[in-house]
Structure 1
Amino acid sequence: MITNHCLKYISNFSRVSFLRIASKASTRFCVRRMSLDHLQRTASNTRHNVVSGATVVKVKDESSTVKKLTLKVHDKRFFFKAGQWVDMMIPKVEKVGGFSMCSSPRKLAQDGLLDLAVKKSNHPPAHWVHTQCREGIEVNIRSGGDTFYDPKPDDPQPDLLLLAGGIGINPLYSILCHVTDLLPKKEENFVILDKNTAGADNFDHAPNKVCLLYSASVEDELIFQRELSEAVEQYPCVDCQYFLTRETTQKTSLPVKNRRINHQDIQDSFRRLRKEKTMVYICGPSPMIETMETILLGAGIGQQQILFEKWW
């Protein structure tokens, strides 16, 4: 059901879309600044046609400052690609939220579910998630974004280097989940979904190697620790490294480095990856993105291999 609030969103988006503050051809990917309205920041981005109702079916504390929502999507035509985000229209909240998926397209295709992890802030949609959101509430969502991972049968399959800072892990974790959906687990036979299932024709087209470098301020903010550890254990082609920028103590057995991601870490990744055949996805604070881009270019990575979005 499309609510009056959702209709107002559609009207507002039509007005905002004329702003076109960035090139549609942009291939740059980052955490969104709260000083700009989400619709303004993403006015030039591609959006899918379907606005679907969705029910919050689970709310979970992923950390002391991050809540994970699981939504049951009503419209079977709704879809997204790994790395994209949703506009979320919330009852009685004037601002439209913009949140990246942290689940795979396969989960949506099979179960009609998608996950969002939302960092605590004073921005009205995020504040609502942390103070008022509960199971059973209905929202409206629309997917979009111009940077994503969506392998095609006839495309050469690159290796992937994923560089995440803080809550910027969300779209990169979605990409990693999509990758693992394409792979057999250790000592198991991989069973393809029925060919009528959305995205099933891509399932035998996975990258050769995937490296995730994941930085956060403190260990509590390294969300999805268990799931990432399981991915490394189950899929030999997946490697994850962790970095803490403000904390030196460890509460888990994760192999954590107490510093920022640096030039040597990038160089070390290319001992596993095919440098000339690697696509790099970055999501994090703007200064991190700029630093990572400079390091990558200095390491001989082509500009066309580096993907992130900037909306300012």
Structure 2
Amino acid sequence: MPEHFIPARIERIDQVTPLIKVFLLRTDPRRFHSRAGQWLDLAIPQQGGEPCVGGYSVVSAPSGDGLLQLAVKYADHHPATYHLHTRARLGDQVFVTAGQGPFYFEPGMGREVVLLGAGIGVTPLISILRFIHAEVPEVRVHLVYSVASRREVLFPEELADLSHAPNIGVTLTVTRDAEDWLGHTGRISHRLLESLNLPREALYYYCGSREFIEDMTELLREWGIPEAQLCYEKWW
């Protein structure tokens, strides 16, 4: 295994939605570090062959205790993800890198933040939301989270609790299976953003599929948000 990979142990596995499992990993706090919103590479050793490697956003807020949390959506075409969902067990050893990428939030970057997420693309945004709640309550943040079905909302109880904080707003919108849903429906749109009275001077972080990234970039530009305030990351 390359030197930049750090051994980690699977401490907990939870099936939190029909398609998403959450993994709690413990690693060396002296070697592992990550900023809120970053992703890492996870390598799974394979007997007699090359390890399976996948990139996953850290969903937990940064901490100094060596614990980190990943939320992984099932996919049978991705070897590392398929292994995590079908074969990973408590106590298994995997390997992780430190946090990577320019998609992150730190104190001093802005006083207003808007997070726009679709599906499993919400994971780095939840890391940022948790970090702001825990460490920088002077920053105002609003999460707008689009899901196909209410059953696929990640951490619904926690998001409901966080929304009671004076500096935090959370808005959910359901795009498909919305028969039993009384909240917002449809994709994130100009109409929805305007109804929420979101600040135009905020940093806008967004993450999701290629289509979602392209749609949000166009939507926010049309809405008059300067390019310097757009923060997104391509997974492809």
**TM-score of the superposed pair, with normalisation by structure 1:** 0.70
1:285 CA drift (Å): 1.3
**Counterpart Cα distance in 2 of 1:281 and 1:266:** 14
Mapping 1:1-312, distance limit 5 Å: 6-7=1-2, 50-92=4-46, 94-106=51-63, 109=64, 111-122=65-76, 123-142=78-97, 143-151=99-107, 155=108, 157-183=110-136, 206-207=138-139, 209-233=140-164, 235-250=165-180, 256-269=183-196, 271-273=197-199, 275-276=200-201, 278-312=202-236
Higher normalized contact order (CA 8 Å, seq sep 6+, divided by chain length): 1
* Structure with higher helix content: 1
**TM-score of the superposed pair, with normalisation by structure 2:** 0.92
1:134 CA drift (Å): 1.0
**Counterpart Cα distance in 1 of 2:145 and 2:131:** 18
Report which of the two structures shows the higher radius of gyration computed on alpha carbons: 1
Q: Counterpart amino acid of 1:295? A: L
Identity %: 32
1:244 CA drift (Å): 1.0
Distance 1:285 1:224, change over 3 A: same
Q: Which runs of 5+ in 1 are unaligned?
A: 1-5, 11-49, 185-205
- For the aligned residue pairs, the C-alpha RMSD in angstroms reads 1.7
Q: Counterpart amino acid of 1:165? A: A
User: Is the contact made by 1:85 and 1:99 (CA closer than 8 Å) also made in structure 2?
Assistant: yes
**Counterpart Cα distance in 2 of 1:215 and 1:156:** 25
Bigger shift: 88-97 or 121-130? 88-97
**Counterpart Cα distance in 1 of 2:106 and 2:154:** 24
**Counterpart Cα distance in 2 of 1:103 and 1:262:** 28
Q: Counterpart amino acid of 1:117? A: A
